[in-house]
Structure 1
C-alpha cells in the first residue's frame, strides 16, 4: 500500500541525527525574495532535481487542492480513514516527514485528504509537495523572530552534504548501493554533531571558494535517476494553499551552465488553476 503512494523510498531516507549548527548557518543565508541561499560564492538552492535524486519521490504529477477543514470535519476524517473513535481523533497525533511542523511529530490533518484513495495518492507530485513545504518553512525560519525550522530536515541536511563536502564531517556509508535514494548514503552520529556549533559552520561557509562547491553531485547517479526537464521550470508552484517560487535561472551552475547575472525577482499573481496549468 505504501509503494502505491510513491512514498516508500522515504522509509530509508531519513537522517537519524540532525545537525542544528549546520542547519542554522544555512538558514541564516536564505532569502525569501529569491528562494535561494546567498553565499559568498554565489546563490544556491534545493531544486526539484535535488529532491528527485536524494529522495526518489516523483517530481511530476498532480498538485493537491485541499478543502478547508473545520474541527468537526477533521475529527470525521480521522474517524473515517484512521478508524479511531471521535474521542481518540480529537487528540490524535500524526507522525510525518514531508510536512513536519515545529512539534516534529504532528502534521495538519488536512494532508490526510491526499491519502483517502491510496491508488490516487500515487499520482501526486510528492517532490513538489516536499519542496514547497521546505521553502515555506525556510521563508519563515529566516526571519529574525523565528527560533525553529520545520519541514523535512533530512532533505535539507543531505542536500548540504552533497553540495558542500568541505563544510561538514559526515561520512559516506560504505554499504550504500547506488540504486538507493542518494540520501541513504550519508552516515551521521550524535558525537560528531555535538562538536560543532553555528559559528564554526559560518566561518567555513564564508571561506568557501567556487571550487569547494560540488555544483553537480549526481553524475554517477544519473543512470538511476535521470535529469527531468521539469527541474528547469521557473515560476510558482503550490501544495494546497501554500505557494512558493522556483527560480532555477539563478542557479544554472547547478545544471552545468555558466551563471549570468540573474533577472530581478518578480511577483506573479496567479490562481491555483493557472499555476497548475503552467
Structure 2
C-alpha cells in the first residue's frame, strides 16, 4: 500500500492531526509518477560520496540543496532536532499507551509496514486517545514508506519518541533529517553498483525534472510551478519514449550548463516560495 492511498481514506479527525503536524501537504502532493530506474541508475553513477554531490562531465558539480528539498516536498528545513529515542523499543508499555497495540515480534527495534495496515486501516477511532494512536501509526507508516524508507519494509521504533506529543511534531526539522538520509542512501547505492536501496527516490527524480527540463515529463495541461513542486506531476502526463540507461548516461555526460535551469524556483511567487 502507498502512503497517499491511506491518507485519502483517513478518518477526518486523524487527518486534521496529520495536517497539524505539517505532513498533510506532503501526503496530499506525493506524486503518483513511477520512478524511472534507468534515469536514477545513470544519476547514481555520477554521485560522489565524499562531497554528497553529482559530478557531470561538462556541467560540473550539482546536488539537491535545502531549498530544492523544501520546494519539491513542501516540508520545511528548519526547526528543533528530532528527539529520536534509541531505547523506545525496550519500552513495552509504549506500545499500549502511544499506539494502542503491540506488534507480536519486535526485531531490532523495527516495525513492519504490514502490521500498520492490518491494525489501523479501515478502523474508525472513537476516543481522543484512539485518534492520536491512529495518527502516530500513520506517521510511522509514512516515515517508513517515503522519507526514511529502507529495503526491509520496516521503520525504526525510535521515531515514536518524536510523536509522543503530536502538537510538537511540526516544530522538528524533518526536512534536514530526510535530506541527510537521501544523501546517505545515494552514497550507499553508489557503492552497491547502482542497486537502489531505500530513500525517497521520487524526490531525486523530481530534482532532475526541475533542473534538466529536457528530461521532464510533460503535463497534458499546462500547470504552473508551485509548492510542493510534485503537484506539477500529479496530473495526466505525456510519457516520453522509454529511454534506455545508455540514453541517460550519454545525456548526463554531454549536458552543458546552458541546458540547465539553474533557478527553477524563480517562477514561484515569492510569498508562496517563502
Deviations 1:199-256 (A, max 9, x none): 21101111201111111101111424446xxxxxxxxxxxxxxxxxxxxxxxxxxxxx
Q: Is the 8 A contact 1:5 1:120 kept in 2?
A: yes
SS of residue in 2 equivalent to 1:63: coil
Asked if 1 retains the 8 angstrom alpha-carbon contact of 2:20 and 2:167, the reply is: yes
Unmatched 5+ stretches in structure 2: 1-16, 114-140
Change (3 A) 1:188 1:150: farther
Deviation at 1:66, TM superposition (A): 1.9
Structure 1, unmatched stretches of 5+, are: 228-278
Question: What is the aligned partner in structure 1 of residue 219 from structure 2?
Answer: 172
Partner Cα separation in structure 1 for residue 226 and residue 248 of structure 2: 31
TM-score (normalised: structure 2): 0.72
Deviations for 1:91-126, whole angstroms, at most 9, x for unmatched residues?
Answer: 6423531111124x4322222222221111110112
Q: Please tell me whether residue 207 in structure 1 is matched to residue 254 in structure 2.
A: yes
2:80/2:171 contact within 8 Å kept: yes
Runs of 4+ in 1 over 6 A off after TM superposition: 88-91, 188-191
- Equivalent residues in 2 for 1:1-278, closer than 5 Å: 1-16=17-32, 17-40=34-57, 41-69=59-87, 71-73=89-91, 76-87=93-104, 92-93=112-113, 94-95=141-142, 96-103=145-152, 105-144=153-192, 147-166=195-214, 168-172=215-219, 174=221, 176=223, 178-186=225-233, 192=239, 195-226=242-273
Relative to total residues, which structure has the larger helix share, 1 or 2? 2
After TM superposition, the score normalised by the length of structure 1 is 0.71
SS of the equivalent of 1:141 reads: helix
Distance 2:236 2:230 in 1: 15
**Which deviates further from its counterpart, 33-42 or 185-194?**
185-194
- Equivalenced residues, count: 224
Aligned-residue CA RMSD in angstroms? Answer: 2.8
- Superposed CA deviations along residues 4-51 of structure 1, whole A, max 9, x for unmatched, are 211112113323211101111111111111111000211000000001
- Identify if the C-alpha distance between structure 1 residues 153 and 206 changes in structure 2 by more than 3 Å, giving closer, same or farther: same
* Structure 2 SS opposite 1:122: helix
C-alpha spacing 1:78/1:26, structure 2 compared with 1 (3 Å): farther
